[in-house]
A and B are shown apart, each in its own frame.
Chain A
Amino acid sequence: MEEVRLMKGNEAIAEAAIRCGCDGYFGYPITPQSEIMETMMLLKPWETTGMVVLQAESEVAAINMVYGAAGCGKKSMTSSSSPGISLKQEGISYIASAELPCVIVNVMRGGPGLGTIQPSQADYYQSVKGGGHGDYKMIVLAPASVQEMADHTVLAFDLAFKYRTPVMLLADGVIGQMMEKVVLPPFQPRMTEEEIREKYPWGTLGKLKGNKKNVITSLALLSEEMEKTNNHLQAKYREIEKNEVLYEEFQCEDADYLIVAFGTCARVCQKTVEMAREEGIKVGLLRPITLFPFPTETIKKYAEQTKGMLSVEMNAGQMIDDVRLAVNGKVPVEHYGRLGGIVPAPDEVLNALKEKIVK
């Protein structure tokens, strides 16, 4: 039987990364995600799977270490929280442009600036719209439970390599710090160099006789060249939008109203839905699991069926833009959120729903 364990979301990420054959982790301590590196250091995977775990001197260094490792076709990752993710943006832009697969974990905390260490979702724009310079996107996964922290780590690597793109796990302080039951993924051996050469022939593992040399770069001085790169990236993003949308529906079939929420807020709103239904208000919850690609088509469909939507986020209203684009004016869409590290309570959301939507 599968072993059920109790652990923090951050610990689950560390365990899952080791188990799914990750080759390298590079990070810099920051609350509320330091347990990811701490757990790896405790588990010493270099003695078992051979995975490298290194504490870098900064987030800037860490993301560039990931660039190097990923350029060799290795499964590599980094993790941080909001202020540190801001520092990584330059590196992420380079990684997206050079088409390198990697996983970046952001356990969000309240900002802007040094802010607070309490949970937040205020990095939605930064993650989904491309936080660094240039026209690029990351696949963004939004786990809502400790189990998903583990599962999405595995999924993130799969997607990263399928599309040669950075994938972000966008969690927050609640999911990182809370403990829940989790069944960890099975062990998967790390790839050998031969396997990497075979599957990812672009990796800089050393030019073998007779092979073309591999160059990892994001530079194309000729505009025509750079436009080609951009067109290629955009085509890839359209492909991702077509194939990889994930979401969860909770009590949506007969819903008159829809709450849209991800991560911790989705957990809170599940309770709101239960409370509202007890009062006879037919509310459903749509939880985007991928934030890019966004479940636009599904929300469009619910715009035909429902009378209004509430986007619940721990920010000043960011995902609501994407909900509104999907709804395209068909029904009213309002936002409810708490800022600065406060998690909204289920009854607060219910009140907001009644005030703003169920008039």
Chain B
Amino acid sequence: MTTNEIINPANLVHKKTDLLTDVPMHYCPGCSHGVVHKLLAEVIDEMGIQEETIGVAPVGCAVFAYNYIDIDWQQAAHGRAPAVATGIKRLLPERYVFTYQGDGDLAAIGTAETIHACNRGENIMIIFINNGIYGMTGGQMAPTTLEGMKTSTSPYGRNVELNGYPLNITKLLAELEGTCYVTRQSVHNVAGVRRAKKAIQKGFENSELKKGTSVIEIVSTCNSGWKLSPAASNDWMVKNMFPAYPLGDLKNV
């Protein structure tokens, strides 16, 4: 078969959505960020809301999200994405506004912004990548780092006496009156990817219906930070992260 035969439209099995740009992603091979980006792009494409969607990128590995999905973006200061999104949404109430944040961004430095945006019931979607570590800065402890888990600032393992407990912030957010949909998903296998995609779509739909804040946590891997191969990271996540952060809907009104 020649290359031309292979790229013949008849042989097409999967087409990348046009919303994903051709910029090579900087994520480590095997990182969950890439998969979630793809899902986001597909949902926006399928719902036909490219022109009405504004994303807010965090500080963290996903800081360059704006390079990969072909929509309007704002890049917020570390932890402030929900506040930035509030500003956008309040002035453009008919647009779809979402934030895309890591666990350090959302649950450490930005805890206040996260809680108050959710408590106000901002009609936005928060996508929360929980990989239990600070990927961007080289693997320091995150609020969601598991007990006993080694990171560069917990080199002997997270010790709850010293560092407190892993923060189940999603559970906390589900308690708030302002949230309408709080769910925890993963993208480590095909079924998971399908469910995560549905959740993202629901988040956008909730925004349209002005039901309140949708929080979609994706329990994720950071193979670089965890110092494991991509495959081993998935296994580790299933074995260790899922018991602490069980998948499924925490709230759906």
Contacts and interface: CB of A to CB of B under 8 A. Distances in A.
Contact of A31 (B63, B104, B138): B138
Contacts of B228: none
A31 B138 CA distance: 9
Interface string A46-64: 1000000011011110000
Contacts of A28: 108-109
A30 B153 CA distance: 12
Contacts of A55: 140-141, 153, 163
Interface stretch (A35-43, A146-154, A202-210, A243-251): A35-43
Interface in B66-106: 75, 77-79, 104
Which residue of B78, B152, B153 has the most chain A CB atoms within 10 A of its CB atom? B153
B53 interface: no
A57 B108 contact: yes
Contacts of B78: 58, 83, 114
A44 B109 CA distance: 24
B134 interface: yes
Instruction: Categorize the interface residue count of chain B.
Output: 20 to 34
Contacts of B252: none
Interface in A73-113: 83
A29 interface: yes
Contacts of B104: 29
B79 A29 contact: no
A262 to B, nearest CB: 27
Contacts of B111: 57
A121 interface: no
A29 B59 contact: no
A34 interface: yes
B137 A31 contact: yes
Given A34-B137, A34-B140, A83-B78, A42 B155 contact: yes
Contacts of B59: 114
A153 B62 CA distance: 35
A145 to B, nearest CB: 24
Interface string A112-124: 0010000000000
Contacts of A34: 137-138, 140, 152-153
Contacts of A42: 155
B134 A29 contact: yes
B77 A38 contact: no
B130 to A, nearest CB: 16
A151 to B, nearest CB: 26
Given A57-B108, A83-B77, A44 B138 contact: no
Contacts of B63: 114
Interface in A1-51: 28-31, 34, 37-38, 41-42, 44, 46
Interface in A149-169: none
Contacts of B79: 58
A350 B137 CA distance: 36
Nearest to B138: A34
B154 interface: yes
Contacts of A58: 78-79, 108-110
Given A114-B59, A114-B75, A37 B153 contact: yes
A37 B141 CA distance: 11
A29 B153 contact: yes
A41 B154 contact: yes
A36 to B, nearest CB: 10
A58 B163 CA distance: 14
A55 B164 CA distance: 10
Contacts of B163: 55
B203 interface: no
Given A55-B163, A58-B109, A38 B153 contact: yes
A38 B109 contact: no
B121 interface: no
14 contacts: A29-B134, A30-B137, A31-B137, A34-B138, A37-B140, A38-B152, A41-B155, A46-B162, A57-B111, A58-B108, A58-B109, A58-B110, A83-B77, A114-B75
Given A38-B140, A55-B163, 13 more contacts: A28-B109, A29-B104, A29-B138, A29-B140, A29-B153, A37-B140, A37-B153, A38-B155, A55-B141, A57-B111, A58-B79, A58-B109, A59-B109
Interface of B: 59, 63, 75, 77-79, 104, 108-111, 134, 137-138, 140-141, 143, 152-156, 162-163
